Structure 1
Amino acid sequence: MTNGRSRLVWAAVLFLVILGMIGSGVVAQRGRWWRGDGITTDRNGVPDWEVDEQFPGDLFTFVRIKYDSYGGRGRGGGWRTDYRDSDLNFSLRLQQLTSMKVNPEPIVLELTDERLFDYPFIYIIEPGSLVFSDAEVAALRRYCLNGGFLMVDDFWGDSQYENMRRELKRVFPDRDPFEVPLSHEIFHNVYDLKEKPQVPAINAARRGMRGEVGSWEYAPDGSDTSEAHYRAIVDDEDRIMVFICHNTDLGDGWEREGENQWYFEEFSVKKAYPMGINIVTYAMTH
């Protein structure tokens, strides 16, 4: 864990590095061509970097999970939200701002892909209506109990959380999510967060008359979304296996970093990147 002065230095570095990238025109662009399976290899203006090909196992690779069933139906397009800019931008910041060696090419896998076990970190977005197949349930259970880490992001309100909780109960019948206290190391291991960060989508970010910031995000069921919740499921050694980011959208903070200066300063720099870096650091050290 860094000391207070080091944390201030890292925060300043994060701001200056990303600001420099934006100032030089290295920002995410909109629009791209998609393959029939929804996957693209377009870097969309995000810079590349060299890696040591002799040590591929030493690289952190951002792995997004593709799912098919949404609301009990097929064609689960929610997996593609914020893709691919958020994955590229977050990988770039991890490479720049931590000692990790990071793969510049994030990938997309299905839970039933045997390659899943080559990667210690996976990411599921917009799971509010996701329904796992029986094969996905078995694969995710095996992955997590064998040391894998799942991050879940970007879903809002009570009904969407209840759907995710129910699906995770199928994966872990004997385990329940619990609210992770702010004192937990995952909020402090690199960046010392003073609150559980809430990141709204860029079009739902709110700025008050006195400079206060917040969210206009609403839940489909009309339930309260004013407070971000970070919940976890742990293994028998109290290691977090599943980290659930509810009533917040860290992925939009990564994806949209170059689109609005105020949003970038208030949400990307102060909330989305520090929380994301803390999560991955925990995943890679436990």
Structure 2
Amino acid sequence: MKQLTFWGLFLTFFVIHVGNSQEIAILKYGGGGDWYSNPTGLPNLIQFCNDHIDTKIGSKPQTVEVGSVSIFQFPYIHMTGHGNVFFTDEEAQNLREYLLSGGFLHVDDNYGMEPYLRRELEKVFPAKQLEELGTDHPIFSQKFVFPDGLPKIHEHDGKRPQALGIFEQGRLVLLFTYESDLGDGWEDTEVHNDPEEVRLKALRMGANIVEYAFKN
């Protein structure tokens, strides 16, 4: 992989750090996976964050493509879906530059994207592997405390929920929430008919992730 380009560094300094942006975006990716799933989820999380962790995020998240320079405008980008994920080499390089220069990507597996994501992350960080976060990681003790780590929101294969990450110089730059399905818990109540206490756990964990991303 190439080093950070001047353009990537320039955008990072003037947009992410100087602008101190509190906006978030949805990542549109190739491969045929439904990147647009959980349409009510992120708007509900945004409202919850604005109400409970004093953010001032715009109510409608924007959509950005993996290879666009627009990703550098957002300190937090959300990615979800059920199936295939594909990055071109250029897209992988752009995402790498974004993450190394201060951005944060939260990938929430809506079910079925895990093997494809792992394959594509090898293009982004060929020398790194996803590592499981311990329950003592600060992402679990921001505004809301989760002493047992990532909560289980929806059952799929009977596996335990896992928070997996990629780190750069000790900073968590990418979080992959697996076998939890936070995004389903963020959706409007009538979409999945989740009990209110389950939705609240999902929203609180989501707020912790956003808060961590904005601070780090």
TM-score, normalised with respect to structure 2: 0.84
Preserved CA contact (<8 Å) 2:75 2:102: yes
Matched, 1:174 2:127: yes
- 1:267: Cα distance to partner? 1.4
Q: Which of these residues, 244, 249, 253, is aligned with residue 185 of structure 2?
A: 253
Q: State the Cα distance separating 1:151 from its structure 2 match.
A: 0.2
Q: How far does residue 190 in structure 1 lie from its aligned partner after superposition?
A: 1.2
State the secondary structure of the residue aligned to 2:123: helix
The answer to whether the 8 Å contact 1:156/1:248 transfers is no
Instruction: Specify the code of the residue in structure 2 equivalent to 1:61.
Output: E
Contact 1:62 1:87 in 2 (8 A): no
Given candidates 163, 168, 177, the residue that maps to 1:230 is 163
- What's the counterpart of residue 15 of structure 2? none
Number of residue pairs matched by the alignment: 197
Distance in 2 separating the partners of 1:89 and 1:59: 19
Contact conserved, 2:46 with 2:59, CA < 8 A, in 1?
yes
Whether the 8 Å contact between 1:253 and 1:264 is mirrored in structure 2 is no
Gaps spanning 5+ residues in structure 2: where?
1-18
Of the three residues 87, 94, 99, the one matched with 1:132 is 87
Structure that is richer in strand per residue: 2
Aligned counterparts of 2:121 and 2:30: Cα–Cα separation in 1:
16
CA distance in 1, matches of 2:66, 2:93: 9
Q: SS in structure 2 opposite 1:80?
A: coil
- Note the C-alpha offset of 1:118: 1.0
| Structure 1 counterpart of 2:136, from 154, 177, 183 | 183
| Secondary structure of the structure 1 residue equivalent to 2:152 | coil
- Pick the aligned partner of 1:274 from 192, 204, 210: 204
Amino acid of the structure 2 residue aligned with 1:165: R
Q: What amino acid is the match of 2:34?
A: G
Q: Are the equivalent residues in 1 in contact too, given 2:82–2:111 (CA < 8 A)? A: no
Identity of aligned residues (%): 31
- Please list the CA deviations of residues 158-199 of structure 1 after superposition, one character each: whole Å capped at 9, or x if unmatched: xx4333222111100111111100111101111111322011
The answer for the alignment partner of 2:6 in structure 1 is none
CA contact (8 A) 2:79 2:108 kept: yes
Q: Partners in 1 of 2:190 and 2:45 — Cα distance?
A: 13
In the other structure, the counterpart of 1:81 is 37
1:256/1:264 contact within 8 Å kept: no
Equivalent residue, structure 2, for 1:67? 29
**SS of aligned partner of 1:183:** coil
Checking the alignment, whether the CA contact within 8 Å between 2:110 and 2:184 is kept in structure 1 is: no
Aligned twin of 2:102: 147
TM-score when normalising by structure 1: 0.65
Residue 206 of structure 1: aligned partner: none
The equivalent position to 2:153 in structure 1, one of 199, 216, 221, is 199
Match of 1:11 in 2: none
User: Residue in 2 aligned with 1:96?
Assistant: 51
Alpha-carbon distance, 1:250 to partner:
0.9
Provide the secondary structure at the position in 1 that maps to 2:211. Answer: helix
Aligned counterparts, 1:6-45, within 5 A = none
Q: CA RMSD in A?
A: 1.8
SS of the residue 1:78 aligns to: coil
Contact 1:127/1:155 (<8 A) preserved: yes
